Amino acid sequence: MGKIVIKAENISKAYELGEFSTGTISRDLERWWAMMRGKEDPFLKIGEVNDRNKKTDSKLVWSLKDINFEVEEGSALGIIGRNGAGKSTLLKLLSRITSPTTGTIKGRGRIASLLEVGTGFHPELTGRENIFINGAILGMRKAEIKKRFDEIVDFAGVERYIDTPVKRYSSGMYVRLAFAVAAHLEAEILIVDEVLAVGDAEFQRKCMGKMGQVTKDNGRTVLFVSHNVESVKSLCDTAILLHNGRMHENTNLADAIKIYLQQNPENDRGHFVNPNPPVNLEVYFKQAYIKQKGVVTNALFNDAPIDVHCQLQCNIPMKVSLEVIVRDHNGLPLLFGPIGLTQQREHELEPGVHQMVIRLNPPYLAKGSYFLDLIVAETGKRIIDIHESCLGFEIESSFIAASGWSFEHNRGAGAMLLNAFSYFEDELPAVH
């Protein structure tokens, strides 16, 4: 057992929903009065869980609730969880950007947090000037920065441009410089957000290497937050899994990752319920969700078709076709799926509620988030009901068994099958 360097006891964080200021001066005063007398905040309700889909009476939501953990010296702790699980909040608390509502975090050792690289970079200043500013913001003394200056410049590989304003840097150079400063912090505890998702593949590898080296060689402690299971696996020894602001019971790394991958993020974006069903439309979507291999999930893999189960309300008998558009995380349309390409073009619907399945066979998709548009159209005439980006899913891993490797967005959003041949003049493969 190593020394404990961070100990979090019962930390919770409540956020207020809705309007902050208007009309709440009276409430502010009431709260202030309670605080002055050393009483608990009268507007905190205990026991509510952060579930974004359920509306509650209370205007406060617990973004984190009763988090307890310890971190040993020299270990790397991974913090994983779906979007909205409370990862960022936990990071903010640990890095003292905001204070917890209840509980304490005790620790020993200097702490440096990298929620982002390049904080405080000023575009007009040169690389050299920015290294100093950024280093100082991250907590380094001027003398320390001076001492490591050459190392930083060398790591970033920007010697030639060090006296050029950073606004003239390419985005890659900018990020490399920013990361280099961060990577050379002399802190015993390093808190890292998914900053590694930046830069080109080679630089990412370099960063990961640096992070590993930081824990293994220098005996420093790293807290690492990521969606990227692969990086967590390779970097961390232990992990905590957050779900709706609560911590999963103490688990080891492998278990935490397993649960994380199985976790059904249905209440996130995987389930669509038409918020205001139109009464006058001939046919419309009532709800929809995604299934893969018979399981309701939106954490998908590339090795099986994606089934979109939808419930349609039809008001008059008519012929319709169902279509989908797959969008990337920026909302850019990637793929269009008109049903007519593969099977009967139209479906004749009688008035009533219909359950239908749209089975997608997309090409291999890169790891990441995607959105689906659902469209019901009167064949060849007009769109009747369309829901843009109403369903979301994640490709958890883009590992392609046949090739033995996985590919990322920097290679493209989708992979296609190709064949390469060697040939001789007289036996050219037939080209059509």
Partner 1 sequence: MHESDKYWEIKPNTSLLDIKLKENYEYRDLLWLLVKRDFISFYKQTILGPIWFFIQPIFTVLIFSLIFGNVAGISTDGLPKPLFYLAGVVTWNYFSDCFIKTSSVFRDNAYIFGKVYFPRLIMPLSVVFSNLVKFGVQLLLLFAMMLFYGLKGGHFQITWYVLLFPVLVLLMACLGLGLGMVVSAMTTKYRDLAFLVTFGVPLLMYATTVVFPLSAAPERFHNLIKFNPMTPIIETFRMGFLGTGTFSWSMLGYTTFITVVILFLGVVTFNKVQKSFVDTV
Q: Applying CB under 8 A, which residues contact partner 1? A: 15-16, 20-21, 25, 28, 35, 92-113, 115-116, 119-120, 122, 124-125, 129, 132-133, 136-142, 144, 165, 185-187
Least gap, CB of 31 to partner 1 (angstroms): 12
Closer Cβ to partner 1, 129 or 408, answer by number: 129
Confirm if 176 and 130 have CB atoms less than 8 A apart: no
Closer Cβ to partner 1, 115 or 296, answer by number: 115
Closer Cβ to partner 1, 99 or 218, answer by number: 99
Least gap, CB of 54 to partner 1 (angstroms): 22
Least gap, CB of 208 to partner 1 (angstroms): 22
Closer Cβ to partner 1, 103 or 363, answer by number: 103
In this structure, the number of other CB atoms found within 10 A of the CB of residue 241 comes to: 25
Least gap, CB of 37 to partner 1 (angstroms): 13
Least gap, CB of 51 to partner 1 (angstroms): 19
Closer Cβ to partner 1, 35 or 201, answer by number: 35
Closer Cβ to partner 1, 104 or 403, answer by number: 104
Element holding 183 (H helix, E strand):
helix 171-183
Least gap, CB of 78 to partner 1 (angstroms): 21
Residues 6 or more apart in contact with residue 148 via CB below 8 angstroms: 184, 186
Please state, in angstroms and rounded to a whole number, the distance separating the CA atoms of residues 321 and 344: 9
Q: What length does the chain have? A: 432
Alpha-carbon distance values, 165 to 154, 161, 278, 414 (Å) = 18, 8, 55, 37
**CB-based contacts of 92-101 (< 8 A; 24+ apart in sequence):** 93/11, 93/13, 93/64, 94/6, 94/8, 94/191, 94/223, 95/191, 98/13, 100/11, 100/12, 100/13, 100/64, 101/12, 101/13, 101/14, 101/44
